[in-house]
Amino acid sequence: MNPAAANGQVQGRVAPGFEQVREEFERNFSQRGEIGAAVAVYWRGEKVVDLWGGRRSPYADEPWLEDTLVVVYSTTKGVSALTLALANARGLLDYDQPIARYWPEFAQNGKADVTVRQLLGHEAGLVWTDEDLTIDRLHDLDDVARVLARQKPAWPPGTRHGYHSMTIGLYMQELIRRVDPAHRTLGRFFHEEIAVPLGLEFYIGLPPEIPYDRLATMLQYTTGRALRALFYTPWPMLLRVLWPWSLLRMSFRCLRDLDFKDRRSFDIEVPAGNGVGTARSLARLYSVFAEGGGELGVAPDTMALLTAPPTQIKPRDVVLGVPTWYSLGFIRPGPDVEFGSSGRAFGTPGAGGSFAFADPDARLGFAYVMNKQDFYMFDDPREKALRDAVYRAIAKLG
């Protein structure tokens, strides 16, 4: 028995046929430097993997528990995109309509014709805000909406695409507020219309009754660890990380005082990056959509939109400097980003290694979360080993 299993680090269960997933999860601790993590898989509507283990903090011995919550960074974007998909399914939002139809003030500075689809495809050029949006300011969503509406695009919308790392969530937030008859925030809409009906424990904006000490503590990036990552970071992206005035560096500046070691950063909603929850809940959520969305009343026409191929003009992401494929708020499989069993898969990775997605062809919902941030943009070895083991299992089980 390997040390991870012997020390009782890994707990949970796997269904018969998925034993290799547990073995790879244990190897993450014994061979790949994992600190604390969880992985969950739903296949054909049934939970077949639900594992957790390690330490909730890199700096103490508290174990990662069955109900430990963790921030998943940009994996939050997929949850937000599914929230907009539900709005589409209910006839509240048309992806091909101009945003200004729902939010007239958005039309300022050449944005009158920007569609919801272009925004969610990271084509709108709205990668930063000229005004800082502090934590205190983010409590006033009317003020935030005015800042977003005034923003001038960094390029002519629809002519290229580039990762809207933080801003896309703020724009999705305001769209939900505009189209929801009750004018709820995105986090509240998600909670009441998706999380509660499905029994999920995932939050965009942490409720005050949730104790902060339930959250796993992150081992964040350090200079020394970053230097080791130079060997596997694509050089076009590396140049953009190092250049202070690159679109990538600029994209993070609007929310510069976010600090996920501070409870205040979870008291607000950041639909692009401060979602917290369990792998179990993420996998269950994506499973519902992998099964066609019927449990939430999502009709086949909305599912057809979610699984349709991306329509980007060029593959190169002008913010990240590498090829990426986006559609309706999700990353999609492409020549340089492979996941799922076909091009119909959709999901989002998060900074440091988390990843959650739906594979409708395999009827699979998958999620991996962790508290040791690594530097892989995609295919973190810890997550990739688990994902590959899942697909080997379902190939054998048929």
| Of 244 and 118, the one with more pLDDT | 118
Which range (139-148, 183-192, 317-326) has the least confidence? 317-326
Q: Is the pLDDT of residue 8 over 70?
A: no
**Percentage of the chain with pLDDT > 90?**
82
Q: Is residue 389 part of a domain?
A: no
Per-residue pLDDT band for 312 (boundaries 50, 70, 90) equals: confident
Is residue 397 domain-resident? no
What pLDDT band is residue 242 in, cutting at 50, 70 and 90?
Answer: confident
> What token pair was written down for 269?
């909603």
Q: 299 lies in a domain?
A: yes
Residue-level pLDDT at 377: 83
Mean pLDDT of 67-96: 98
What pLDDT is stored for residue 244 in this prediction? 81
pLDDT band with cut points at 50, 70 and 90 for residue 5: very low
pLDDT band at 260 (very low <50, low <70, confident <90, very high): confident
Q: State the pLDDT at residue 273.
A: 95
Please give the average per-residue pLDDT across 216-230, as a whole number.
72
Identify whether 24 is part of a domain: no
- Amino acid type, 167: T
- Is 279 among the domain residues? yes
| Mean pLDDT along residues 49-55 | 98
Distance CA 185, CA 181 (A): 11
Q: Which residue has the higher pLDDT, 250 or 37?
A: 37
Q: What mean pLDDT value characterizes the chain?
A: 93
Q: Let me know: does 374 contact 380? Beta carbons within 8 Å.
A: yes
Query: What mean pLDDT comes out for the span 234-247?
Result: 77
Contact, 121 vs 313, CB < 8 A?
A: no
Q: For residue 44, is it within any domain?
A: no
Distances (CA, A) of 266 to 208, 210, 272, 273, 325: 9, 11, 12, 10, 29
pLDDT tier for residue 375 given thresholds of 50, 70 and 90: confident
pLDDT at 341: 96
* 237-245 average pLDDT score: 77
* CA dihedral over 230, 384, 201, 61, signed as positive or negative: negative
pLDDT of res. 235: 67
The answer to whether position 256 is within a domain reads yes
Q: What local confidence, expressed as pLDDT, does residue 4 receive?
A: 41
Amino acid 252: pLDDT: 79
What is the reported pLDDT for 223? 62
Give the number of other Cβ atoms within 10 Å of residue 181's Cβ. 7
Distances (CA, A) of 265 to 139, 199, 249, 350, 398: 11, 25, 20, 17, 44
pLDDT reading at 346 higher than 90? yes
Task: Tell me the Ramachandran region of residue 340: left when phi exceeds 0, alpha when psi lies from -120 to 50, beta otherwise.
Answer: left
Integer angstrom CA distances of residue 388 from 45, 46, 307, 391: 19, 19, 22, 5
Length of the chain (residues): 398
- Please state, in angstroms and as integers, the Cα–Cα distance from residue 359 to each residue in 45, 47, 310, 335, following that order: 12, 15, 16, 17
Report which of residues 306 and 2 the model is more confident about: 306
What is the number of structural domains in the chain?
Answer: 1
Which pLDDT value is given to residue 234? 75
Between 136 and 254, the more confident residue is: 136
CATH of the domain at 358: 3.40.710.10
State pLDDT tens for residues 54-71.
999 999 999 999 999 999
- Lookup result for tokens 């997550």: 383
Range of the domain at 105: 68-364
Residue 197 lies in a domain: yes
How far does CA 142 lie from the centroid of its chain? 25
Task: Give the CA angle between residues 255, 99, 161 to the nearest 5°.
Answer: 60
User: Which pLDDT band holds residue 98 (cuts at 50, 70, 90)?
Assistant: very high
Whether the per-residue pLDDT at 227 is higher than 70: the answer is no
Which of the residue ranges 133-142, 174-183, 307-316, 358-367 would you say has the lowest mean pLDDT? 307-316
State yes or no: pLDDT of 100 exceeds 90. Answer: yes
Q: At residue 122, does pLDDT exceed 70?
A: yes
pLDDT at 224: 65
pLDDT above 50 (res 82) = yes
